[in-house]
Structure 1
Amino acid sequence: MSDTAKFLIPLFKPIWNNCGLPVPMHKMYIGEYYNRFQWQLNCFDKITLLGNNTGNCFFIESVVKQLGLENCAFFADLRDNSKEFVQEHFQAIVVPSSNFIAAQESGGLNYFTSLMEKYDLPLLIIGIGSQLSPGEKPCSTTIKNLHKISERCTSIGVRGELTAEILVKNGIKNVEVIGCPTVFSSLNPEFKVRKEEPDWSKPVAFNTELQAAGIDFLLKMSRFSPVRFYMQNEMNFWFEQSRPHPYACKVLSWTAMQQHNSKITLPQFREIRSFIEQNGLLFFNTLDWQTSLRECVMSLGMRFHGNMMALQAGIPAVWLVHDNRTRELLNLLQLPTFKFTEELSLQQIYTEADYSEFNKRYPTLYSNYREFLLKNGMVSNKLG
């Protein structure tokens, strides 16, 4: 693949440019990154367009940044999606991937495989992971699709050792453990996490997940001050429209919160609602998100991308592990975790967070990721 290789990304597009401004559609298709209409939508529709999670922007933008914006185009921006046009202008379909390996069939992976077959191009997967629970087996259709994909590429990039083991057990051998593209979004092979003397007058950033454990953590963190709650997809699951109007605001829903955590009481719900109204934040571009995080002393939470956003902004982040997906990445990266206890001490979490092993491993992880891209024809000078 030449230095001028063009990569087609069949995913949604981040909405904003890196200055936090909406960018209209350009006449040229190559390198076009933003949708001409998305910026006009209300925030709830925007979250839906972003795959129901604003954190998805981070890993898609990371891959585009690493490959070079000038080398990438999004499928929705093509002026012609015929086989002849796509084959003439593109040399691979690139999927910054996520949790496609599950017990249930993955509609996303089915779609990407169909594009590979339609256009007769390699499908390059970057960072696929498993969301299987212990004892579950991956969907047979998913494995069949991954076999097809593996035959058309040098290797499949997986999130960690757990995912690699699942694929190898199912006969897919050309697998490389690369982690998540967001880990390398700095484009700096010497990136390090440095802990300064903490200034506790600054807010503590935190994120959580939708289910019962996440709501319990939110309630606990809401009682500290100062704190900031960085949301990613909560609005589309915990909130309801306040009145029948397309641009009406949404408010926290008692019914929805109870569906996710049946033990929550009405006083606790009101406490959470008041807290979110004053301290909840939601961003649609990574620049503003990271700028806000840099005002914080540290970041805690269950979201891998939410915490990695802080880490890449130079803010120490510590993870509360709640599933195998996050655990797999943290084991590979050797990043610090904490346990959620009744006597939660933010100062103790900060003090005990150790990044020495991560800093030691990082240059090798970075080099491995860069070599993975090169071996798969994704020639890029952006990674150094």
Structure 2
Amino acid sequence: MHQRILLRARKGPFDVFTPEETFAGNWIGDNNGNLVFSHAAHKLLATSTAEITSSRFRADPRDADEINEKYDVFVIPLANAFRRSFAHRLAPMTRLIERLKIPVVVLGVGVQTDVDGNREYLRPIDEAVTAFCRAVLDRSHSIGVRGEVTESYLRTLGFSAVEQIGCPSMFLHGDSFRIEKSKPALTPDDRVALTISPYVSSMAGIVRHHHERYPNLRYLPQDLRTLGTLLYGDAPELRGRSSDIPVHTSHPFFVEDKVRMFVDPWTWMEYLSGFDFAFGTRIHGTITALISGTPGYLFAHDSRTLELARYFGIPHRIMRDVPADIDAAQLYEEADYTALNEGHKARFATLTAFLAKHDLGHSFADGDSATRFDQQVRETTYPPMVRPVEATAPAELLARIQRLRDENAALRETADSLRAQQLRERVKQAVRGPVRRLLRR
């Protein structure tokens, strides 16, 4: 079994960064859902003999020789990497893989198109995806994909070594998983968590309805931009604006302190475990609720969310079919977790068989390795949730201001140094001209 594992992840599960550091360094990789599946993959692979190193998302072909020397395998957990907006990142990753001599294992990649699987929309990325898959399969037995949409797409490109394995996030607890409703019906006084993809404008009516009806509702954003809004207010180009989607500080969710964001999965799951229900458009918002023991429901708005919901049996509706007056109580009532619960062990067996085929062990079959991982999580102190400015302690706000002041001073010093260097260069050029003319005489 491979022991020296390089894992594509923005950060490791025990790397701790403050919310301010997280925003400055983008340690969530644009979306904190990335941490859920990468940390789950880390736990899955964390056997007693494994040495796992996070890649920090670095994909530089010039690193190939070092990677070949230091690691036995490169494991790549991916989300919706087969999409138009990711093609510019897929290309350097492909060039790196082409230079590797060690095995490469892709763990749960997905394609992104509409819910109907529009093939024409994907044409512009066919070449990039083909190059990536060819490079991987030269170093791997097969490619692990999230669901049937991605498998079908890769087969149209001519690849047959494709296996549906879902996403590592759903296997955070191994084959031990079960969701049960804790009450017969949801009431307006219950705790409800809402997730929203800010670009899904059709959520506006649903947001308004639930804000009015559920006083204990909380909005749990996942994107880097909203983290910045929570920490520092609206970005300059967005100040003074308003929207029915909670993307500005003027939204009632911000004004009424109903927004909570997390920069680590563990605090996020702990918080969600106290809720009665969670729903919305974010697939990993829903999955994080489920693995926290909280019933979740997904509004699938594209192929990547839909295929995962279908693969795992997650209760869902297609977003375009969701009426604006839908109520969480109705979703709670119709949510059926039978397929999710009863099929989990078989899906876990499919995943572990995939790992075994690629010479990777897993912590749940390695004594108490999974338990030791969980213990280390409990012993690590992670930053608390981030709330709107109105609910933030003055001391924390002061520290945030001081950090910005220090960063500004450092930037000014760097700018002054660059200006001085440029001035010296101009002086040199100005002096060289007359000197050269004198030397020619």
TM range (shorter): 0.7 to 0.9
Amino acid at match of 2:327: S
Aligned mates of 2:142, 2:96 — CA distance in 1: 18
Q: Please, which moves more after superposition, 58-67 or 111-120?
A: 111-120
Q: 2:298 aligns with which of 308, 314, 319?
A: 319
SS, match of residue 335 in structure 1: coil
Q: Report the CA distance shift for 1:270/1:219 in structure 2 as closer, same or farther (over 3 A).
A: farther
Is 1:220 matched with 2:209? yes
Amino acid at match of 1:181: P
Q: Report the CA distance shift for 1:345/1:314 in structure 2 as closer, same or farther (over 3 A).
A: same
What is the Cα deviation at residue 144 of structure 1? 1.8
| Mapping 1:228-267, distance limit 5 Å | 228-233=218-223, 236=225, 249-251=232-234, 255=238, 264=243
Is 1:194 matched with 2:180? yes
Aligned mates of 2:167, 2:99 — CA distance in 1: 28
Q: 1:288 aligns with which of 249, 267, 272?
A: 267
Amino acid at match of 1:218: V
| Mapping 1:1-384, distance limit 5 Å | 2=1, 5-14=3-12, 17=14, 34=15, 38-39=17-18, 41-46=20-25, 48-68=26-46, 70-75=50-55, 85-103=66-84, 106-133=87-114, 134=118, 135-138=120-123, 139=125, 140-187=127-174, 189-197=175-183, 200=187, 201-211=189-199, 212-223=201-212, 224-233=214-223, 236=225, 249-251=232-234, 255=238, 264=243, 272-275=251-254, 277-338=256-317, 340-382=322-364
RMSD: 3.2
What is the Cα deviation at residue 277 of structure 1? 4.8
Aligned mates of 1:116, 1:184 — CA distance in 2: 27
Aligned mates of 1:368, 1:347 — CA distance in 2: 34
Q: Structure 1, residues 255-310: CA drift from partner, whole Å, max 9, x if none?
A: 4897xx9xx479x9787245465110010111211111111101011111111111
Aligned mates of 1:341, 1:230 — CA distance in 2: 22
Q: Structure 1, residues 220-254: CA drift from partner, whole Å, max 9, x if none?
A: 33222210111101x5169669xxxxxx7223889
> Is the 1:65–1:382 contact (alpha carbons within 8 Å) kept by the matching residues of 2?
no
Aligned mates of 1:74, 1:55 — CA distance in 2: 16
Larger Rg: 2
Aligned mates of 1:199, 1:310 — CA distance in 2: 16
Q: Which residue of 2 aligns with 1:245?
A: none
Q: Which residue of 1 aligns with 2:380?
A: none
Q: How many residues align?
A: 348
What is the Cα deviation at residue 192 of structure 1? 1.4
Q: Which residue of 2 aligns with 1:20?
A: none
Q: Structure 1, residues 107-165: CA drift from partner, whole Å, max 9, x if none?
A: 33222222223332222111110113423234112212211211210110001011001
Q: Report the CA distance shift for 1:318/1:376 in structure 2 as closer, same or farther (over 3 A).
A: same
Aligned mates of 1:226, 1:367 — CA distance in 2: 39
Q: Report the CA distance shift for 1:382/1:254 in structure 2 as closer, same or farther (over 3 A).
A: same
Aligned mates of 2:11, 2:221 — CA distance in 1: 19
TM-score by length of 1: 0.80
- The structure that is helix-richer by fraction is 2
Aligned mates of 1:293, 1:265 — CA distance in 2: 24
> Is the 1:222–1:272 contact (alpha carbons within 8 Å) kept by the matching residues of 2?
no
SS, match of residue 363 in structure 2: coil
Amino acid at match of 2:283: F
Q: Please, which moves more after superposition, 97-106 or 276-285?
A: 97-106
> Is the 1:160–1:328 contact (alpha carbons within 8 Å) kept by the matching residues of 2?
yes
Amino acid at match of 2:36: F
Q: Which residue of 2 aligns with 1:31?
A: none
Aligned mates of 1:105, 1:270 — CA distance in 2: 29
SS, match of residue 294 in structure 2: coil
> Is the 1:209–1:215 contact (alpha carbons within 8 Å) kept by the matching residues of 2?
no
SS, match of residue 76 in structure 2: strand
SS, match of residue 222 in structure 1: helix
Q: Report the CA distance shift for 1:257/1:297 in structure 2 as closer, same or farther (over 3 A).
A: farther
SS, match of residue 122 in structure 2: coil
